[in-house]
C-alpha cells in the first residue's frame, strides 16, 4: 500500500466517517484509506478534523462519508473503488476548495 503522490491533506475537511464490516468480502481498500487519513501525519494537517470509525457486524457494504468545511459531502462506496481512487477523489475536492493544498499535492 503506497500513498499517492504525497501526504494526505485534510485542511478543508470537517469530518470523515468510515463505516465497514470486517466480515464483508471487499473491505481492504476502506481499511487502508482509514489508516492513511487517521495517520498522525494526515491528522496534523487539520487537528479539528474528526475521523470516526464505525465497525459494524451486519455484512454491510463499506462506506466513507466525508464532510467538508463548507458543508459539501463526498460519499464513497468502499467495495467498488481502490484506496488510490478514494485518495484521489478526496485530494481533488480538497485542492478545489483550498488552493494552497494543490502545492502539497504536487510534491
First to last CA, the chain: 19
DSSP string over 48-107: T-EEEEEE-SS-PPPEEEEEETTS-EEEEETTTS-HHHHHHHHHHHHHHH-HHHHHHHH-
42: number of Cβ within 10 Å? 20
Check whether 4 has a pLDDT greater than 70: no
**For the segment 58-96, what is each residue's pLDDT rounded down to a tens digit?**
989 999 999 999 999 999 998 889 999 999 999 999 988
Domain extents in the chain = 13-99
The CATH code for residues 13-99 is 3.40.30.10
pTM of the model: 0.84
Amino acid at each position: 500500500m503506497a500513498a499517492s503522490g504525497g501526504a494526505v491533506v485534510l485542511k478543508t475537511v470537517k469530518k470523515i466517517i468510515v463505516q465497514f464490516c470486517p466480515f464483508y468480502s471487499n473491505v481492504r481498500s476502506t481499511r487502508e484509506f482509514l489508516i492513511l487519513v487517521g495517520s498522525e501525519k494526515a491528522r496534523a494537517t487539520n487537528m479539528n478534523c474528526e475521523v470516526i470509525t464505525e465497525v459494524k457486524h451486519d455484512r454491510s457494504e463499506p462506506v466513507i462519508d466525508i464532510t467538508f468545511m463548507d458543508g459539501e459531502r463526498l460519499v464513497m462506496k468502499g467495495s467498488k473503488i481502490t484506496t488510490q481512487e478514494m485518495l484521489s477523489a478526496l485530494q481533488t475536492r480538497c485542492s478545489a476548495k483550498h488552493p494552497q493544498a494543490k502545492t502539497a499535492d504536487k510534491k
